[in-house]
Structure 1
Amino acid sequence: MAKPKKNAALGFIFITIFIDVLGLGIIIPVLPKLLQVLGHIDVSKASTYIGWLTFVYASMQFAFASVMGNLSDRYGRRPILLISLFGFGIDYLVMAFSPTILWLFVGRTIAGICGASTSTATAYIADVSTGSKRAANFGLVGAASAVGLIFGIALGAYLSGINLRLPFMAAAAFAFANGFYGLFVLPESLAPKYRRKFEWGRANPFLSLLRIYKKRPALASLLTATAIVYIAQKAVEYLLSTYLYEKFNWTPASVGTLGIFVGLVLVGIQGGLIRYTVPKFGQQKNIVWGLIFYAIGLALIAFASQGWMLYLFMIPYCLGGLSGPAMQAIATDEVAKNEQGELQGAFAILNSISLIVGPLLLSYVFFFFTKSPKTIHFPGAPYLLASILMLISTVIAVRSFKKSEKTAK
């Protein structure tokens, strides 16, 4: 009877992370229009609000990632996850019925705090997984994140055609439904004997990262490589719609269709293929080749000359998803069981930092190469930069493997 419960719990974690990222995806195509309606402003002014809303969300996630992770090490994973889900439901309702732009900031603040629970979700998987299955189960996390984002973009694109607030209502329904479902099927994964006292020092996001970087140089290098990957991924996550509108004059519905295609490919790779590649080739090779595939895919997207090519070029980019779960699996093997929440909190912190840095950096690169009359018109510039970042991450990851081997000796 234990296995069905375990499978049900993993399914719940998948849906939880899916709903977490779904909110980000929904906002990408819908938020500009909603801001125009609420603020009676043009697209140019709306873009500045989008930047600040992203900043607020990422800042809250950054501030609370270690807190959530450490709370889960103290009180268990289950209560933190359930509180987070119901919090997401409230956030989506606030966004759906916001009468002014100010209320959107309230919603993003709630979402950032609740989104910090991703560290708890990944710690849960670390609790119930061992060996090569750990990387495979982390592949489910990657698949959930990818599908949540892409499905969110598609959902936002299609439902906003009916009503601008409908996508947020749908996301709220998903969050509340999964929360109530979790009350009945989600068991606690962290036994009381493995729990530890909550310490504010370890919950400080800066100190948490600093502690890892001081004590474990190999792990620190791997986390650095991961942070660079996160930043580069923002080119697809936050600029794809803008890029397609600018270069190929696509419609929101066309972007949504591409999003569904990418989501299906990612599910196949991170939810299925990685269960074959990790046992056969090992985690290190999955990381290296995954990062190389990322670099190739991003470079191809940068120089695409026809819109249909995006469907083809997204395949190598999606194969890059082989790297993320393997990175997390190697990292989790480096720390004790009662430190998994703190480690996954560190991953969440890096993701939050990338969310602050990535969209801002890459959007300004896009702006520079599309708006300035003194420069070459090159909408693919952010993708070329992201490709270079992936290659840099590959070098750092390989160096971390060498450091780990020296430490082992």
Structure 2
Amino acid sequence: MKQGGASILVIWLTVFIDLLGFSIIIPILPDLAVTLGGGKVALAVAALYALMNFLFAPLWGSMSDRIGRRPVILISIFITALAQFFFGFITTFWMLMLQRSLAGIGSANISAANAYMADVSTKETRTRNMGLIGAAFGMGFIIGPVVGGYLYEAEGMMGVGIASGMLSVVNLIMAYLLLPESIREKNPEAVRVVNPVIPLVKAMVHRGIRGIFLLNFLNIAAFSLMQVTAALLWEEHFLLSKKEIGLMFSFIGLCAVLVQFLLVGALNRWLGEKRLLVVGLVIMLIALGSMPLVPTIYWELVTLAGLALATGCVNPSLLSLLSAQAGPKEQGNILGLNQSLGSLGRVAGPVMGGVLYAIDFRIPYLGASFILLFALIFTFDLFRKRVIQV
């Protein structure tokens, strides 16, 4: 079902507000985890969020094929609101673990949002519209970390929890009032995915889907090595405050939005999805490896701009290529499984990142570059064998 710009705008705003509520806590979470958990290894608590994504993204995706995108998105936003309010009351490490788990369950709705965007897209607009989802992430990261850093220093944990929770409530009301259903014919025979491993194995029978799944896993694992340790890197080695760390994350978001809105469409028309993916992987490899090595914060900003450009090329290209491999009645399921497998990358990233950072602050970033080098070699092999169809 191809709908007009109004539907695309509403789903974009839904994802944006959802990510805004999430990104408010980004400058706070690493230091909070280390303080409550007693060491940098406690950064692995971030893996709980991703683990819940892994378990629930296929469920939300398959349920959206079965009962529709709209009810799944509404339920998951409600769960996210509960998790964000609870953040303001955290005083122990187990409460932090519970909050990250609950937030991970709610945020797994991105599979339904991606499926919604696929529903309302044509072949010609698919990459551009998937890029808009990335832009929503970017906009959330522009505003959220800055607000979170300032709120934490002014109002403490309670202020951050209430603010992020209220944003999710606004998101829920807006989606309830304005978000139409995107599929006319639901698939009541779609299987409810409770165990994500079984459908993952079945989906991987398709060589093209299997290849993109692996690329997405590697891409996210590499990025997560940076994401979970960046706040500590900037605080310990560049002597930044919470407010300044929030500004750094916001800079990434701003660059990502500019890339998504101004460059992705033109670059895709010029290079095509396959070449755009390769270019993005090369730039990301260089940017992540450079982050702990640059001498000043200004050069760090250059690497972050490169990282934003890379993610703007890689993420929509992978989503668009994956959508092209899936049938019209399995978009939610396949995109949900893709998010679920990507969540395993977000599990691996924080677990490895905390341990590696405790050894040496440079190792997580150099390790991310090696992961992306392997991903790049694997991409060339997939394209050479013509495994992926466009």
Normalized against structure 1, the TM-score is what?
A: 0.88
In the alignment, is residue 280 of structure 1 matched against residue 273 of structure 2? no
Partner of 1:147: 139
> What CA RMSD, in Å, does the superposition of the two structures yield over aligned residues?
2.4
Q: Secondary structure at the match of 1:161?
A: helix
Tell me the distance in 1 between the aligned counterparts of 2:325 and 2:214.
15
Instruction: Please name the residue that 2:11 is paired with.
Output: 13
Q: 1:65 aligned to 13, 38, 57, which one?
A: 57
Select the structure with the greater relative contact order (CA < 8 A; seq sep ≥ 6). Answer: 2
- Shift of the 73–254 alpha-carbon distance from structure 1 to 2, 3 Å rule, reads same
Cα deviation for residue 399 of structure 1 reads: 2.0
1:327-370 residue CA offsets vs partner (Å, 9 max, x unmatched): 1101111111110111111121122101110011122221111x
CA shift in 2, pair 1:150/1:227, >3 Å:
farther
Query: What is the CA–CA distance in structure 1 between the aligned matches of 2:290 and 2:261, rounded to whole Å?
Result: 24
Choose which of 319, 334, 340 in structure 1 pairs with 2:331: 340
1:380 matched to which residue of 2? 362
Is contact 1:302–1:382 with CA below 8 Å preserved after alignment?
A: no
Query: Structure 1 residues 295 and 22, CA, compared in 2 at 3 Å: closer, same or farther?
Result: same
Q: CA deviation at 1:306?
A: 1.2
In 2, the alpha carbon distance for the partners of 1:13 and 1:218 equals: 28
Counterpart residue number, 1:26: 24
Superposed, 1:101-250 pairs within 5 Å as: 101-149=93-141, 151-164=143-156, 165-192=158-185, 194-200=186-192, 202-214=193-205, 216-250=206-240
**Given that residues 132 and 278 in structure 1 are in contact (C-alpha distance below 8 angstroms), is that contact kept between their aligned partners in structure 2?**
no
Question: In structure 2, how many angstroms separate the alpha carbons of the residues matched to 1:364 and 1:49?
Answer: 9
CA shift digits 1:292-335 (9 cap, x unpaired): 11112112223201122111122221111211101110111111
Aligned residue type for 1:208: P
Instruction: Report 1:237-386 matches (<5 A).
Output: 237-321=227-311, 322-369=313-360, 379-386=361-368
Give the direction of change, closer, same or farther, for the CA distance of 1:125–1:311 in structure 2 (3 Å limit).
same
Contact 2:88 2:159 in 1 (8 A): yes
Structure 2 counterpart of 1:89: 81
The one-letter amino acid paired with 1:198 is: A
Q: What letter matches 2:168 in structure 1?
A: A
Hey, what's the Cα distance between the residues in 2 that align with 1:323 and 1:10? 21
Seen in structure 2, the aligned counterparts of structure 1 residues 174 and 123 have a Cα distance that, compared at 3 Å, is same
Preserved CA contact (<8 Å) 1:222 1:396: no
* Alpha-carbon distance, 1:107 to partner: 2.7
Q: Is the 8 A contact 1:262 1:314 kept in 2?
A: yes
* One-letter amino acid matched to 2:383: F
How far residue 49 of structure 1 moved from its aligned partner, in angstroms, is 4.9
- d(CA) in 2 for partners of 1:97, 1:340: 38
Residue identity opposite 1:325 in structure 2: P
Distance 2:376 2:64 in 1: 32
5+ residue gaps in structure 1?
37-41, 370-378
Give the secondary-structure state (helix, strand or coil) at the position aligned to 2:154.
coil
Deviations along 1:56-107, one digit per CA (max 9) or x if unpaired, are: 3222221111111110000010111111112211211122234655443333
Q: Percent identity?
A: 28
State the aligned residue count: 388
Q: Do 2:64 and 2:72's aligned partners in 1 also have CA atoms closer than 8 Å?
A: yes
* Alpha-carbon distance, 1:235 to partner: 3.0
Judging by fraction of residues, say which structure has more helix: 1
Consecutive unaligned residues of structure 2, counting only runs of 5 or more, are: none
